Structure 1
Protein backbone atom coordinates (compact mmCIF):
# COMPACT_ATOMS: atom_id res chain seq x y z
CA UNK A 1 0.00 0.00 0.00
CA UNK A 2 1.03 3.63 -0.37
CA UNK A 3 1.26 6.43 2.16
CA UNK A 4 -1.19 9.24 1.45
CA UNK A 5 -0.71 12.59 3.22
CA UNK A 6 -4.06 14.10 4.20
CA UNK A 7 -4.81 17.47 5.75
CA UNK A 8 -6.78 16.66 8.90
CA UNK A 9 -9.01 19.08 10.76
CA UNK A 10 -10.20 17.65 14.07
CA UNK A 11 -13.39 19.43 15.15
CA UNK A 12 -12.52 21.77 18.00
CA UNK A 13 -8.81 21.95 17.15
CA UNK A 14 -7.46 25.24 15.84
CA UNK A 15 -4.74 23.60 13.74
CA UNK A 16 -5.03 21.64 10.49
CA UNK A 17 -2.42 18.89 10.64
CA UNK A 18 -0.70 16.86 7.96
CA UNK A 19 -1.63 13.23 8.59
CA UNK A 20 0.22 10.49 6.68
CA UNK A 21 -2.02 7.43 6.36
CA UNK A 22 -1.78 4.17 4.50
CA UNK A 23 -4.07 3.86 1.47
CA UNK A 24 -5.40 0.62 2.99
CA UNK A 25 -6.29 2.25 6.32
CA UNK A 26 -9.97 2.28 7.28
CA UNK A 27 -11.70 5.50 8.24
CA UNK A 28 -11.72 4.29 11.86
CA UNK A 29 -7.91 4.01 11.63
CA UNK A 30 -7.67 7.48 10.07
CA UNK A 31 -9.83 8.89 12.89
CA UNK A 32 -7.67 7.19 15.53
CA UNK A 33 -4.48 8.57 13.96
CA UNK A 34 -5.93 12.08 13.89
CA UNK A 35 -7.15 11.73 17.47
CA UNK A 36 -3.63 10.86 18.64
CA UNK A 37 -2.55 14.33 17.49
CA UNK A 38 -5.49 16.31 18.90
CA UNK A 39 -7.48 14.58 21.65
CA UNK A 40 -6.12 15.46 25.06
CA UNK A 41 -3.89 18.12 23.48
CA UNK A 42 -6.22 20.67 21.87
CA UNK A 43 -9.53 18.79 22.05
CA UNK A 44 -11.06 17.22 25.17
CA UNK A 45 -11.74 13.50 25.04
CA UNK A 46 -15.36 12.37 24.75
CA UNK A 47 -15.35 8.76 25.98
CA UNK A 48 -18.07 6.57 24.55
CA UNK A 49 -18.57 8.69 21.44
CA UNK A 50 -17.58 7.41 18.00
CA UNK A 51 -15.07 9.25 15.84
CA UNK A 52 -16.12 9.84 12.24
CA UNK A 53 -14.34 11.12 9.12
CA UNK A 54 -15.80 13.10 6.23
CA UNK A 55 -14.39 15.01 3.31
CA UNK A 56 -14.20 18.70 4.11
CA UNK A 57 -17.53 20.33 3.33
CA UNK A 58 -19.41 17.02 2.93
CA UNK A 59 -22.64 16.40 4.81
CA UNK A 60 -22.09 12.70 5.43
CA UNK A 61 -19.20 10.76 6.87
CA UNK A 62 -17.38 8.01 5.04
CA UNK A 63 -18.44 4.49 6.07
CA UNK A 64 -16.26 3.50 9.03
CA UNK A 65 -14.87 0.40 7.31
CA UNK A 66 -14.14 2.04 3.95
CA UNK A 67 -10.48 2.60 3.14
CA UNK A 68 -8.59 5.69 2.08
CA UNK A 69 -8.18 4.08 -1.36
CA UNK A 70 -11.96 3.44 -1.57
CA UNK A 71 -12.72 7.06 -0.65
CA UNK A 72 -11.01 8.58 -3.68
CA UNK A 73 -9.21 11.11 -1.47
CA UNK A 74 -6.21 12.72 -3.13
CA UNK A 75 -2.91 13.63 -1.43
CA UNK A 76 -3.23 16.70 0.84
CA UNK A 77 -7.03 16.73 0.51
CA UNK A 78 -8.68 17.90 3.73
CA UNK A 79 -10.78 15.63 5.91
CA UNK A 80 -12.76 16.56 9.00
CA UNK A 81 -12.72 14.31 12.05
CA UNK A 82 -15.42 14.69 14.68
CA UNK A 83 -17.13 12.94 17.56
CA UNK A 84 -20.55 11.56 16.59
Structure 2
Protein backbone atom coordinates (compact mmCIF):
# COMPACT_ATOMS: atom_id res chain seq x y z
CA UNK A 1 0.00 0.00 0.00
CA UNK A 2 1.37 3.36 -1.02
CA UNK A 3 0.03 6.80 -1.74
CA UNK A 4 -0.21 7.50 -5.46
CA UNK A 5 -1.04 10.91 -7.02
CA UNK A 6 -3.46 11.11 -9.94
CA UNK A 7 -4.99 14.06 -11.77
CA UNK A 8 -8.78 14.06 -11.43
CA UNK A 9 -10.68 15.40 -14.44
CA UNK A 10 -14.18 15.12 -12.98
CA UNK A 11 -17.14 15.36 -15.38
CA UNK A 12 -18.80 18.81 -15.28
CA UNK A 13 -16.00 20.26 -13.12
CA UNK A 14 -13.81 23.02 -14.52
CA UNK A 15 -10.93 22.25 -12.13
CA UNK A 16 -8.43 19.44 -12.63
CA UNK A 17 -7.11 18.40 -9.23
CA UNK A 18 -4.32 16.29 -7.82
CA UNK A 19 -5.85 13.57 -5.66
CA UNK A 20 -3.90 11.11 -3.56
CA UNK A 21 -5.18 7.56 -3.87
CA UNK A 22 -3.70 4.28 -2.66
CA UNK A 23 -2.12 1.72 -4.96
CA UNK A 24 -4.54 -0.89 -3.60
CA UNK A 25 -7.68 1.25 -4.09
CA UNK A 26 -10.24 -0.04 -6.55
CA UNK A 27 -11.48 2.24 -9.30
CA UNK A 28 -14.72 2.67 -7.33
CA UNK A 29 -12.63 3.95 -4.41
CA UNK A 30 -10.66 6.24 -6.74
CA UNK A 31 -13.94 7.66 -8.08
CA UNK A 32 -15.21 8.24 -4.54
CA UNK A 33 -12.00 10.03 -3.50
CA UNK A 34 -12.20 12.25 -6.56
CA UNK A 35 -15.92 12.89 -6.02
CA UNK A 36 -15.18 14.19 -2.52
CA UNK A 37 -13.34 17.14 -4.08
CA UNK A 38 -15.93 17.94 -6.78
CA UNK A 39 -19.47 16.86 -5.87
CA UNK A 40 -21.43 19.46 -3.88
CA UNK A 41 -18.64 21.94 -4.54
CA UNK A 42 -18.76 22.59 -8.28
CA UNK A 43 -20.68 19.52 -9.49
CA UNK A 44 -24.26 18.57 -8.66
CA UNK A 45 -24.70 15.02 -7.38
CA UNK A 46 -26.32 12.43 -9.64
CA UNK A 47 -27.35 9.68 -7.22
CA UNK A 48 -29.17 7.78 -9.96
CA UNK A 49 -25.86 7.22 -11.79
CA UNK A 50 -22.65 5.38 -10.96
CA UNK A 51 -19.20 6.95 -11.17
CA UNK A 52 -16.70 5.29 -13.50
CA UNK A 53 -13.01 5.91 -14.13
CA UNK A 54 -11.39 6.04 -17.55
CA UNK A 55 -7.92 6.91 -18.80
CA UNK A 56 -7.98 10.43 -20.22
CA UNK A 57 -5.33 9.70 -22.83
CA UNK A 58 -7.14 6.91 -24.69
CA UNK A 59 -10.64 6.76 -23.14
CA UNK A 60 -10.11 3.22 -21.76
CA UNK A 61 -12.80 2.49 -19.17
CA UNK A 62 -11.39 0.61 -16.18
CA UNK A 63 -13.31 -2.23 -14.48
CA UNK A 64 -14.79 -1.01 -11.22
CA UNK A 65 -12.92 -3.59 -9.12
CA UNK A 66 -9.52 -3.06 -10.78
CA UNK A 67 -6.86 -1.68 -8.43
CA UNK A 68 -4.63 1.28 -9.15
CA UNK A 69 -1.57 -0.98 -9.21
CA UNK A 70 -3.23 -3.37 -11.68
CA UNK A 71 -4.11 -0.48 -13.99
CA UNK A 72 -0.42 0.33 -14.49
CA UNK A 73 -0.96 4.06 -14.15
CA UNK A 74 1.83 6.62 -14.18
CA UNK A 75 2.11 9.06 -11.26
CA UNK A 76 0.03 12.21 -11.95
CA UNK A 77 -1.70 10.54 -14.92
CA UNK A 78 -5.01 12.20 -15.74
CA UNK A 79 -8.12 10.12 -15.13
CA UNK A 80 -11.63 11.10 -16.20
CA UNK A 81 -14.32 10.48 -13.59
CA UNK A 82 -17.65 10.21 -15.40
CA UNK A 83 -21.30 9.57 -14.58
CA UNK A 84 -22.81 6.48 -16.19
CA UNK A 85 -26.22 4.84 -16.03
CA UNK A 86 -26.50 2.01 -13.52
Q: So what's the TM-score if we normalise by structure 1?
A: 0.96
Count of residue pairs brought into register by the alignment: 84
- Looking at structure 1, the residues matched to 52 and 3 of structure 2 have their Cα atoms a distance apart, in angstroms, of 20
RMSD value over aligned CA atoms? Answer: 0.8
Shift of 1:60: 3.5
Q: Give the corresponding residue for 1:73.
A: 73
Kindly report which structure 2 residues correspond to 1:40-59, keeping only aligned pairs within 5 A, or say none.
Answer: 40-59=40-59
Runs of 4+ in 1 over 6 A off after TM superposition: none
Q: Can you give the 5+ residue segments of structure 1 that lack an aligned partner in the other structure?
A: none
1:37 aligns to what SS in structure 2? helix
Indicate if the aligned counterparts of 2:7 and 2:78 stay in contact, CA closer than 8 A. Answer: yes
Structure number with higher helix proportion = 1
Shift of 1:59: 3.1
Q: Can you give the 5+ residue segments of structure 2 that lack an aligned partner in the other structure?
A: none
